[in-house]
Amino acid sequence: MNEKPPLLISACLLGQPVRYDAASKPLPPERLTRLTRDYRLVPVCPECLGGLPTPRPAAEIAGGDAAAVWQGRAKVATKAGDDVTAAFRRGAREALALARAEGCAQALLKANSPSCGGARVYDGSFSGCLRPGEGVAAHWLRRHGVEVINEDQLP
Ligand code: SF4
C-alpha cells in the first residue's frame, strides 16, 4: 500500500484553539474526513512556533507586503503598535523546517491570516479591510518551493 503524501495544514483548520483569540476555524467534518483519508496531515501554527502566546493580540502586516517584511521594509504589528515581526519571521522559518522534516511539498493554510494567508491579508488598518497579499509564513514557504493553498481554494 502506498504511503499517503504529507500535507502541512494550519492547526486552526483542524480545530486546534491556536488563533489569536484562542478559537479555531475547523474545516467541515466531511472535508476533514476526506483530507485525513488522502493525506498524512502535519499540523502547524507559525505564530505559536514563533513563540507567541495564545491568546495574543491580533496583528497585521503594515507598511508593505510579505516580501517587504522579509526585506525589513515592512513590519507586523499589533493594534497597540507592538512590533511582532521577529516572532512572525521565526515562526515562518520553523514552519518551513517542519515542512522539510516531514517531506511536505504542499500546504493547506488558513485564508486571510497575516501568517497563513495565501491571497489576501488585512491591510494594516485594523478596520477589517482585506487587500491582495500573502501572510509571512505563506510567502516564506512558497519562496522555498512549498505549494500553498488556502481552504477557500479547495475544490
Ligand atoms: S498562524 Fe496560521 S495556523 Fe496559527 S492560528 Fe493563525 S491562521 Fe491558524
For Cα atoms 45, 74, 53, give the angle at the middle one, nearest 5 degrees: 30
pTM for this entry? 0.97
pLDDT (tens digit, 0 to 9) for every residue of the chain, 155 residues total? 579 999 999 999 999 999 999 999 999 999 999 999 999 999 999 999 999 999 999 999 999 999 999 999 999 999 999 999 999 999 999 999 999 999 999 999 999 999 999 999 999 999 999 999 999 999 999 999 999 999 999 98
The response to whether residue 19 sits with its C-beta less than 6 Å from ligand 1 reads: yes
> What span, in angstroms and rounded, lies between the C-alpha atoms of 65 and 69?
6
For Cα atoms 53, 126, 86, give the angle at the middle one, nearest 5 degrees: 40
* Owner of C-alpha cell 483530507: 35
Ligand 1 atom 8 nearest Cα: 12
- What's the grid cell of residue 99? 515542512
Distance from the alpha carbon of residue 117 to the mean position of ligand 1, in angstroms: 9
The response to whether residue 115 sits with its C-beta less than 6 Å from ligand 1 reads: yes
Sheet holding 147-150, edge to edge: 40-44, 6-10, 106-109, 147-150
